[in-house]
Amino acid sequence: MSFIDYRETIKEGDTAIVFLGHESMFPVKVQHGGKTQTKYGVIRHSTDLIGKRYGSKVTCSKGGWVYILHPTPELWTLNLPHRTQILYSTDISLITMMLELKPGSVVCESGTGSGSLSHAIIRTIAPTGHLYTVEFHQQRAEKAIEEFEEHKVGHLVTVKNQDVCKNGFGITHLADAVFLDIPSPWEAIGHAKSALKREGGRICSFSPCIEQVQRTCLALEEHGFAECNTLEILLRVYNVRTISLPLPDLGKGTGGNARGESDQGSPSDQGASSAGLQQGNAQFKSGVPPREMVGHTGYLTFATKSLF
């Protein structure tokens, strides 16, 4: 199993997604003799998972059933163990587009955190690109290395445990893009500029507070970055339903004779219109307040390294 090389059958050591519903799923590491408890009963890895096709419908011990899905960065974002706050697919998709990532891109990231964005970047830049990710916390860095190896993407990523604001990314004039998700990104702008290739290159900084955005933008201008702009992503989901509203009383119209001559309809139309007016209400489509969604927690600031 690999997050970038998909295959059809489940094998021992794979990380699979147990899908009970859109609001209920979780990852499981497949092992010989292993068992996984669900509300529908037990899943026995040796007989129910190993050798089966991804996407299979598996019957649990109580008679209920679940689907076993191949892991993807999007599914991993929804199910990963949270070591820090993470970025969700809404933000990740915009970051990938605005940084102009593609297969073969070299990317620097700080900090690694729970690896949500890291997995998405690796999938985008594979098979010839590389991710250099820096994590200040030693235990989080070690856990990230372990996960990348389990997910068979370790050859596409280098994890470093250091302070990016003091020590940088460890590369010079090599990266096509830099992403910063740290408390004081303005202190790392100089190191980001050094890591970016000599001509061009894009940088993105994620900050939860507008005061951090302001200081970051000033630092970007001081270091000669151009096209600096900040975006806020808001995910709003409307639930449209039919409601009944009373018809307004607009009073009697003027020029009854002229209206009668120019606006004549069939008796059936006039009858239907009269019935509607007597009823006093009409049906309309309306959107109710959007329900809360997991997603946005801050601002994304993008800039381009000057060519001169």
Query: pLDDT tens for residues 65-112?
Result: 999 999 999 999 999 999 999 999 999 999 999 999 999 999 999 999
54 domain residue, yes or no: yes
CATH of the domain at 18: 3.10.330.20
What is the per-residue pLDDT for 255?
52
Cα–Cα separations (whole angstroms), residue 148 to 17, 90, 113, 255: 17, 23, 13, 79
218 has binding-site annotation: no
Cα distance between residue 109 and residue 132, in whole Å: 6
114 has binding-site annotation: yes
Q: Do both 220 and 150 map to the same domain?
A: yes
Residue that is last in its domain, among 19, 46, 71: 71
Is the pLDDT assigned to residue 197 strictly greater than 70? yes
For residue 181 the two structure tokens come to: 């998700």
258 domain residue, yes or no: no
Residue that is last in its domain, among 71, 89, 118: 71
283 domain residue, yes or no: no
Cα distance between residue 100 and residue 110, in whole Å: 18
116 has binding-site annotation: yes
Cα–Cα separations (whole angstroms), residue 105 to 125, 132, 176, 181: 5, 11, 6, 19
Phi, psi at 107, each rounded to 5°: -125, 140
Q: Which residue has the tokens 């997995």?
A: 119
What is the per-residue pLDDT for 263?
47
CATH of the domain at 110: 3.40.50.150
Q: Do both 103 and 132 map to the same domain?
A: yes
Q: What is the pTM of this model?
A: 0.82
180 domain residue, yes or no: yes
Residue that is last in its domain, among 71, 106, 125: 71
* H helix count then E strand count, the chain: 9, 15
Q: Do both 13 and 159 map to the same domain?
A: no
Q: Do both 190 and 301 map to the same domain?
A: yes
Q: Do both 55 and 95 map to the same domain?
A: no
181 has binding-site annotation: yes
180 has binding-site annotation: no
Q: How many CB atoms lie within 10 A of CB 215?
A: 16
How many structural domains does the chain have?
Answer: 2
Q: Do both 165 and 207 map to the same domain?
A: yes
Question: Each residue of 207-259: pLDDT tens digit?
Answer: 999 999 999 999 999 999 999 999 988 877 777 888 788 887 777 765 555 44
Q: Do both 59 and 153 map to the same domain?
A: no
Cα distance between residue 101 and residue 95, in whole Å: 9
Phi, psi at 77, each rounded to 5°: -60, -40
Q: Do both 115 and 83 map to the same domain?
A: yes
Q: Do both 176 and 225 map to the same domain?
A: yes
What is the per-residue pLDDT for 191?
97
Pairing of β 24-29 and β 15-21: antiparallel
13 domain residue, yes or no: yes
Q: Do both 103 and 229 map to the same domain?
A: yes
176 has binding-site annotation: no
3 domain residue, yes or no: no
Q: Do both 18 and 137 map to the same domain?
A: no
Q: Are 188 and 164 in contact (CB under 8 A)?
A: yes
Q: Do both 163 and 203 map to the same domain?
A: yes
For residue 155 the two structure tokens come to: 């050859």
What is the per-residue pLDDT for 266?
53
Helix (H, G, I), strand (E, B), or coil: what is residue 231?
strand
**Residue 63 domain boundaries:** 9-71
269 domain residue, yes or no: no
